[in-house]
Structure 1
Amino acid sequence: MCTSFTYEDADGKFYLSRTMDFDFELGGRPVVIPRGHHVDSDATEAGFDTPLGFVGAGRNIGQYLNVDGVNEAGFAAATLYLTESKYADKTVDGKANIAPHEVIPYLLGNMHSVSELRDKLADINIVAAPNKFMGGIVVPLHWVVADASGDCAVLESDADGLQLYDDPVGVMTNSPEFPWHVKNLQNFAQLQPALAAGTNFGGVTANGFGGGTGAVGLPGDYTSVSRFVRMAFLREHAEKVSGQAAAINTISHLLGSLDIPHGIKVMADGKDDYTQYRGYMDMATPTYFMQPYDDQTITKVTLTEELLNADEPTEFPLAHVQQFVEAN
């Protein structure tokens, strides 16, 4: 389970961020995938190439498994869990056939913008290929995509094929499907950051107990439905700050309010679902930031020509010294 949102700072620059909430230890760290990298796909023998370089969370499992990131064109994407997902049962000639867990490297390695993805959506086929790293299951996923212009959309795969929904809310969580979450916001029209107006109960005037009364009823639990509403409210009313450091600090505080600590969310099988890390993507630079659960130090990796033209992916250890340690 995860939460993602976009943020526009006071300078008009856009960021995509996410929590990685999961009960399976992913062990990811920042990694740069250079231009011209080849991915050995679980969907086809040929695999696919990634002409564009990108940086994001990844892990080497024989080859790199990537779950989020931003590419050199300022296009960003993140993987989130969606139980309702349905994929194609076979490959299709003439299309890019990819496994669900390969969508992030394919998109980041090939797309320059959300608009380009809209134009090329019909050329993509997500095949129900198992993920060997996660025990051979076909992982049900959906994806949030955004670019430096502020355009944002949600990619989902259902029985009718791929759906790319415009995301004017700039938020995504998990089940149910994205359009349901947007409609559900109608149930929270009363939320506001200001004081709620007082009301009378007979001869008693009730004015509330101070600041925050306008947000009474804001969901505080860890379900995907509640996290969507809470993040939509926070995103809408958070201050806009200037500069990358201030923006990342603000985003960190916003996502921190949705962090899931160990022991708070136990799944049906008894496993502990918790926030393994928070990832922040500056689409203007482009730069990736990772803030892990065990150490709130933020590791920062900015794409450079040297990294983009490297012969092999470059992996960075998480920094444990001070905030905003430069990894490159």
Structure 2
Amino acid sequence: MCTSLTYATTTGDQFLARTMDFGFELGGRPVVIPRHHHFTSVVDEAGFDAPYSFVGAGRDLNGYTLIDGVNEHGVSAAALYFAGQAHYADQAAAGKVNLAPHEVLMWILGNVSSTQELGERLTDLNIMEAAAPLLNIVVPLHWIVSDQSGATYVLEREADGMHYMKNPVGVMTNTPDFNWHLKNLSNYVALQPTPHPDRQYGDLKVSAIGPGSGALGMPGDYTSVSRFVRTVFMRQHTDAVATDAEAVNALSHMLNSVEIPKGVKIKADGAADYTQYRSYMSMHEPAFYMQPYEDQTITRVALTADLMNAAQPTEFALNATQRFNAVN
């Protein structure tokens, strides 16, 4: 279970951030995929090519698998759980790019230069029911995708087909489907950062007890529904900032409201979902910032000419000694 949001600086620089909340230890680290990398596929012997370079959180599982990142054209994307509603094709489609759910993000980042281009090319894709390595399950996913223009979309594959929807609030969590979350916001129109005015009940004048009363009723639990509402509120009202460092700092504070500490969210099977890391994707640099649970240190990896044109992917250890450790 995860939370994602977009954010723009006052100078127009765009960011996509997310929490990675999961019970199984994923062991991801920053990885740069170079231009023209060839990915193997569990559904197609031919695999697929990625003309564009990108950087994100991933792991080498007899071939790299990434779950978020940003590419050289400033397109950023993240895969989030979509349990109970994700529905995939049960067979390959001739003449299309056949992908397992866990392969979709790598294809997007490696092949499109804008959210508009992705929309135009969706008819080329066939997302199939196929298990991911390490987890050995068909991972139910949906995707948030954003670009340097600020255009942000949600991609969902359900029983009635593919849905590519403009995201007007810049936030995505998990099940239910994205349109349900948008409708649910109508239940929270009273939320505001300023206090509610005094109320008169008969002869009694009632005043709010202290500041913050405008947010009374905002859900505080860890369900995807509540995290969506809280993050929309935080994104809407957090002060605007000018620099990249300030943007990453602001995003970190916003995600504090939905970060899941170990032990407070136990699933039915006894596993504990927790926020294994947070990532911040700067679309204009482009650069990837990763903040692990263990020490909250932020490691930054920027796409450089050498990394983008390397012969093989490049992995980076998470640096636990220097905040904003830069790899330029």
TM range, normalised to the smaller chain?
A: over 0.9
Question: What does residue 126 of structure 2 align with?
Answer: 125
Question: What does residue 92 of structure 2 align with?
Answer: 91
Q: For each residue in 1:32-76, what CA deviation from the matched residue of structure 2 results, as whole angstroms up to 9, or x when unmatched?
A: 000000001011100000000000000111111100000000000
The amino acid that maps onto 2:161 is G
Partner Cα separation in structure 1 for residue 311 and residue 2 of structure 2: 33
Q: For each residue in 1:185-237, what CA deviation from the matched residue of structure 2 results, as whole angstroms up to 9, or x when unmatched?
A: 00001111111111123332221112111111111100000000000011011
Contact 1:5 1:18 (C-alpha < 8 Å) held by counterparts: yes
Question: What does residue 327 of structure 2 align with?
Answer: 327
Question: What does residue 116 of structure 2 align with?
Answer: 115
Partner Cα separation in structure 2 for residue 110 and residue 230 of structure 1: 33
- In the TM superposition, what are the counterparts of 1:1-328 in structure 2 within 5 Å? 1-83=1-83, 84-134=85-135, 136-328=136-328
Partner Cα separation in structure 2 for residue 153 and residue 90 of structure 1: 26
Contact 2:68 2:77 (C-alpha < 8 Å) held by counterparts: yes
Partner Cα separation in structure 1 for residue 161 and residue 53 of structure 2: 28
The amino acid that maps onto 2:116 is S
Partner Cα separation in structure 1 for residue 150 and residue 133 of structure 2: 35
**CA drift at 1:161:** 1.8
- Please tell me the root mean square deviation across aligned C-alpha atoms, in Å: 0.8
Partner Cα separation in structure 2 for residue 27 and residue 202 of structure 1: 60
**CA drift at 1:28:** 0.3
When normalised by structure 1's length, the TM-score is: 0.98
SS at match of 2:123: helix
Q: For each residue in 1:256-279, what CA deviation from the matched residue of structure 2 results, as whole angstroms up to 9, or x when unmatched?
A: 111000000000000000000000
Partner Cα separation in structure 2 for residue 299 and residue 321 of structure 1: 10
**CA drift at 1:17:** 0.4
The amino acid that maps onto 1:214 is G
Q: For each residue in 1:75-106, what CA deviation from the matched residue of structure 2 results, as whole angstroms up to 9, or x when unmatched?
A: 00001000110000111111111000001110
Partner Cα separation in structure 2 for residue 316 and residue 291 of structure 1: 13
Partner Cα separation in structure 2 for residue 24 and residue 288 of structure 1: 23
Contact 2:61 2:133 (C-alpha < 8 Å) held by counterparts: no
SS at match of 1:132: coil
Please, which runs of 5 or more residues in structure 1 have no aligned partner? none
The amino acid that maps onto 1:141 is L
> Which sits farther off after the overlay, 203-212 or 88-97?
203-212
Partner Cα separation in structure 2 for residue 163 and residue 276 of structure 1: 29
Partner Cα separation in structure 1 for residue 327 and residue 305 of structure 2: 15
Partner Cα separation in structure 1 for residue 297 and residue 34 of structure 2: 25
SS at match of 2:44: coil
SS at match of 1:31: strand
The amino acid that maps onto 1:59 is R
The amino acid that maps onto 2:253 is H
Contact 1:299 1:325 (C-alpha < 8 Å) held by counterparts: yes
The amino acid that maps onto 2:203 is G
**CA drift at 1:132:** 2.6
SS at match of 1:102: helix
Contact 1:88 1:161 (C-alpha < 8 Å) held by counterparts: no
When normalised by structure 2's length, the TM-score is: 0.98
Partner Cα separation in structure 1 for residue 47 and residue 190 of structure 2: 50
Contact 1:319 1:327 (C-alpha < 8 Å) held by counterparts: no
The amino acid that maps onto 2:97 is A
Equivalenced residue count is: 327
Partner Cα separation in structure 1 for residue 244 and residue 263 of structure 2: 33
Contact 2:230 2:257 (C-alpha < 8 Å) held by counterparts: no
SS at match of 1:196: coil
Contact 2:292 2:298 (C-alpha < 8 Å) held by counterparts: yes
Partner Cα separation in structure 1 for residue 61 and residue 203 of structure 2: 69
Partner Cα separation in structure 2 for residue 284 and residue 205 of structure 1: 52
